[in-house]
Amino acid sequence: MATDYLSSLNVGSGLNTTQIIDSLVAAEQEPQEALVNTQKDEATVSISSFGAVQQNLTDFETTLSALDGLTGMSVSQSGTSVDIELTDSSKVIEFSSSIEVSQVAEAHTLVFGGFASEGASIGSGTLTFEFGTWTNGSFTVNSNVIGGNVEIDSDSDTLAEVKDAINAAGLDVTASILKQSDTNYALVLKSEEGADNALRLSSAEGPADSNLYYLTNYDTKGTEAFNPADGLTVTETTTGVTGATAEIQSVAGFTASNISELNGKTLFFHDGTNKLSVEFTSTPADLNAVVTAITSASDYANMGFTVSAGTDALTLTYNSADGNVELADVGYLTTVETVTAVDAELTIDGVSVTRASNTINDLIDGVTLTLNNTTSSAETVSGDWNSDNALIALQVFVEQLNSSITSLKALTDRGSATSDPGALAGDPLASYLLKQLTSLTTQAIKGFGEESIYLTNFGVMTELDGSLTIDEDTFNSYFEENPHYFAAITTSRVTTDTSLVSGSMSGTNYNPGTYAFEIDSASGEGTIDTDIVMTSSGSSYVATSGDVKGLFLTTETGASSANIYVGRSLADSLQLFASEMLASGGEIEDKIDSLSEDVASYDEQLVSIATKMESIRARYVAQYAAMDAIVAQLKSTETTITNMMESWKASLK
C-alpha cells in the first residue's frame, strides 16, 4: 500500500490521496486490460492450435505420400542373376515369367595407359566424341546419341585435367584415372551400355601433341590406338622437291634388337590422308623382311609414299608432285579396348529379347528388371497380390486419418456441462477442415472401373464417436475378389479397356471418371468425352483442356476407340486437400496471419490503455493537489480565527 506522508504529517486534507488515486485508476484500467488480455490470450491459443493443425496435416500428407504405390502387389525372383523391382504399381497385374540371360550388356571401355603421373601432359586441342557401332573395323554413327567436342587448353592439359574436362562436358561417357603402378597411370573412358553406344574418338591435332593424338583411338577397328610416345623417330632427309628428287623421310629405330621386338606388335603409318597398319605375328628376319611385310599389305598402294630399307631405318620416298609434305606419323598400335560394347541378350517365356541396357523397364508393365549375370538355368520373376501387405497399408491409412480427425474434433468441441470447449470451438475454418476431412472418407471414388468404389467396400466402418475401424473379414473377402481395386485407396492411375491404348496423367487439375476415347479413321483426330479434341503427334494424344486436362494417351496400330478410366485415389484426394490447406497463402496461413495481426493490435491497445491511465492519474493528482491546497488554506484560516478568538476570550477576563 502506498504511504501518503503529507497525510501522516496532517498536512492538507489528511486523506491518503495516493491510495485513492491508485484505486480510482485501477478501477478504470483493470477491466479494460482484462478484456483485451482475454482477447489476446484467445488469439494466442488459436494461433498455437492452428499451428498444431498445420503440423497434423503435414504429418498426414507425409504418411499419405508414403502410401502411394502400395496396392498390395508384391514382386519376387527365384534367383540372383535377375533382380526385379516394382516401379509403377498402377500398371502391374499378376504375372509369372521365366527368364534366361545369355549375355549381359557391356559398356565400351577404352584404357589409354603409359602416363607417368596424373600430372603428365596430354597436349592441347579438340577431342571429338562419337557414339555408334563398330562392325569389322567400320564405324556407324548412332544418330540417337549426340556426341560432342571437348576443348583441351594448353594451360590445363594434364591427365587429371583432361579427365575432368571430359566428365564436365556432359557426354554419355565417364572418364577416370587408373593407377597401374607408381609410374604408370591410365585414362579410362567408358560409354553407356549397349552395342550402339561404342566410342569413336578423333582429333584434328597432329603428332605435335602426341599424347592427345594417342587418345583419338586412331585405328578404325576401334580396338587399338596409335601411340607416338612408343613410336619411331621420323626426320626429313630432303625437304620438298629439288629438281626431280622427291621429299624423303627417314624412320629411325630398326636395329637388330628393335626388329626382334616387332614380334606381336602392329606397325602403324599415316601420311596425312591414308593409314596403314601391319601386324607382326613373328620376328622378321631383317629390315628387308619388314619392308616386304609393309609393301605386301593391302592398303600400301593407297599411301603417299613408297617404303624401302635404309641403314637401321626405313626410307619413305614421296612422289615429286607432292611437293613439301608434313612428316609421316609412324609408330606402334597399342591395344586400348578392354571391354567391347555389346547388348544384353535374354529370353522371356521363350521369346528372344535384345536390350542395350541391363536395366530393362519395358518387358513387364510397371516392373524394372536388372540383369546382374548370365543364367545357368531359367529364373522366375513374378507378381502376386498380397492381402497382408494391403491390410497393413490400410491400417496405416486409417490410423493417420483417425489421428487427424480426433485432433480436429478435440479442438472444435463446443464443450458441455462437464467439459470445457476446445481451443477452436466455433471457429468456422477449423469446423470446415473437420467437415471436409470426414466427408472425403465417405465419398465415391471414381475412375477405377465401371462402378464407383467406397472405403466401406474394404471394411472401413465409422463408429459412434466418429473414429474409423476396419472389419478384417470384410476386407479380406473384398480384396480377394477385387485386388486391383485397392489402388482406389492408395494409388492414382489411368487405365483402359484395351491393350492398344495406354495412358498417364500430368498434374492434378482433372476430374476422375470414365471417358470415351475415339480416333477418327479418316483424319486420325482423337477426341475424349465426345467433344474434347486432343492434341496429337503421331500415335500420342494429349488433352489440354476439359475434365481430363493433362491426360496423355499412347496408341498402338489398330487402335480406334477405348474407355479411359481416370482414377484419383482417396489418399491423393486427401493429400491434395491437405496441400491446398498448407499452401503458402492458403486458408490456414491466412488465418494465422490474421490472428497474429490481432495479437499485435491487442498489444497496441494495452499500450494505449496504459498511456491513457497515466493521463488520468496525472489529472487526479492535479485535482487532489488543488483540493489539498484549498483545505490547507482553510485550515490556516481556521487556525487564525481560533487564535483571534482565544485572544479575545483572554482579554475579557
Please state at what angle helix 570-582 crosses helix 17-67, rounded to 10 degrees. 150
Query: Strand, coil or helix: what is 453?
Result: strand
Backbone angles phi, psi at 178, to 5 degrees: -110, 120
Q: Is the pLDDT reported for residue 7 higher than 60?
A: no
- Looking at residues 57-66, what average pLDDT do you find? 90
CA 376 centroid distance within chain: 37
Q: At what angle do helices 587-652 and 428-440 cross, to 10 degrees?
A: 150
Question: H or E element: which one contains 105?
Answer: none
Q: CA-to-CA distance for 242 and 252, rounded, in angstroms?
A: 23
165 has pLDDT over 70? yes
Ordered DSSP codes for 395-406: HHHHHHHHHHHH
- Secondary structure letter of residue 342 according to DSSP: B
C-alpha span between 235 and 258 (Å, rounded): 18
Q: Return the half-sphere exposure (C-beta side, CA atoms, 13 A cut-off) of residue 201.
A: 29
Integer Cα distance of 205 and 215 in angstroms: 11
Predicted local confidence at residue 282, as pLDDT: 94
The set of cell numbers assigned to 92 is 502391374
Residue 4 has φ and ψ, to the nearest 5°, of: -100, 100
Note whether 269 and 329 are within 8 A (CB). yes
Pairing of strands 344-348, 337-339: unpaired
Examine the pLDDT at 12 and tell me if it is beyond 80.
no
Q: State the cell numbers at 634.
A: 482553510
- Is the per-residue pLDDT at 41 higher than 90? no
Number of H helices, E strands in the chain: 12, 34
Give, to the nearest 10 degrees, the angle between helix 570-582 and helix 428-440.
Answer: 160
CB 357 within 8 A of CB 372: no
The mean pLDDT of 294-306, rounded to a whole number, is 94
pLDDT at 285: 93
pLDDT tens, residue by residue, 232-290? 889 998 887 767 678 899 999 898 888 988 999 999 998 878 889 999 999 999 999 99
Residue 128: count other Cβ atoms within 10 Å of its Cβ: 15
Average pLDDT, the chain: 89
Beta strands in 145-229 (DSSP E): 148-152, 173-181, 184-193, 198-203, 224-227
DSSP assignment of 215-238: TT--STTSSEEEEGGGS-EEEEEE
487, amino acid identity: A
Distance from C-alpha of 105 to C-alpha of 343, rounded to nearest angstrom: 4
d(Cα 441, Cα 462) in Å, to the nearest integer?
10
Is residue 526 a contact partner of residue 533, using CB atoms and an 8 Å limit? yes
- Sequence-distant (≥ 6) Cβ neighbours of residue 113 within 8 angstroms: 178, 180, 184, 185, 186, 334
In whole angstroms, what is the distance from residue 236 CA to residue 226 CA? 21
Handedness of CA 358, 363, 368, 371 (dihedral sign): negative
Least reliable range by pLDDT among 424-438, 558-572, 627-641: 627-641
- C-alpha cell, 320: 615429286
Q: pLDDT tier at 155 (50, 70, 90 boundaries)?
A: very high
The mean pLDDT of 113-126, rounded to a whole number, is 91
User: Contact at 8 Å (CB) between 110 and 214?
Assistant: no
Tens of pLDDT, residues 422-458: 888 988 998 999 999 889 889 999 999 989 999 999 9
pLDDT, average across residues 44-53: 88
Is residue 211 pLDDT above 90, yes or no? no
- Strand-pairing partners, residue 130, are 200
Q: Which DSSP string do the residues of 591-602 spell out, in sequence order?
A: HHHHHHHHHHHH
Q: Is the per-residue pLDDT at 9 higher than 50?
A: no
CB 280: neighbour CB atoms within 10 A? 17
Write down the pTM of the prediction: 0.73
Q: What is the DSSP letter of 530?
A: T
Q: 3 by DSSP, 3-state: which? A: coil
Instruction: Compute the C-alpha angle 530/535/540, nearest 5°.
Output: 100
Check if the beta carbon of residue 92 is closer than 8 Å to that of residue 178: no
Q: How far apart are CA 541 and CA 564, in angstroms?
A: 13
- Contact yes or no for 531/541 (Cβ under 8 A): no
**Residues 131-146, mean pLDDT to the nearest whole number:** 92
What is the per-residue pLDDT across 354-374, written as a single tens digit (0 to 9) for each? 999 999 999 999 999 999 999
- Please compute the mean of the pLDDT values over residues 549-553 and round it to a whole number: 95
Mean pLDDT over residues 199-222, rounded?
79
Return the domain boundaries, the chain.
Answer: 1-71+386-491+568-631, 73-104+343-385, 106-217, 493-567
How many CB atoms lie under 10 A from the CB of residue 279? 13
DSSP one-letter code for 326: P
Residues in contact with 173: Cβ distance below 8 Å, sequence separation at least 6, in sequence order:
129, 166, 189, 190, 191, 192, 199
Which of 149, 66, 40 shows the shortest CA–CA distance to 601?
A: 40
Question: Which residue pairs, CB below 8 angstroms and at least 24 apart, start in 148-152?
Answer: 150/126, 151/126, 152/122, 152/123, 152/124, 152/125, 152/126, 152/127, 152/212
Running DSSP on this structure, what letter comes out for residue 547? Answer: T
253: left (phi over 0), alpha (psi -120 to 50) or beta: left
Task: Name the more confident of 205 and 23.
Answer: 23
Query: Residue 570: its pLDDT value, please?
Result: 95
Residue 5 confidence (pLDDT): 41
Residue 584 has a pLDDT of 84
Is the confidence at residue 13, as pLDDT, over 70? no
Phi then psi for 543, rounded to 5 degrees?
Answer: -90, 120
| CA 514 – CA 449 distance, rounded (Å) | 8
pLDDT at 206: 62
550: alpha, beta or left, given left = phi > 0 and alpha = psi -120 to 50?
Answer: left
Spell out the residues 6+ positions from residue 178 whose beta carbon is closer than 8 angstroms to its own.
Answer: 111, 113, 185, 186, 187, 188
Whole-number Å distance between alpha carbons of 407 and 396: 17
Backbone angles phi, psi at 72, to 5 degrees: 95, -5
Chain mean position to CA 566:
26
State yes or no: pLDDT of 10 exceeds 60: no
* 206 CB neighbour count, 10 Å cutoff: 17
Say whether pLDDT at 230 is over 60: yes
> Between helices 17-67 and 587-652, what is the axis angle to 10°?
170
* Contact between 238 and 325 (Cβ < 8 Å): no
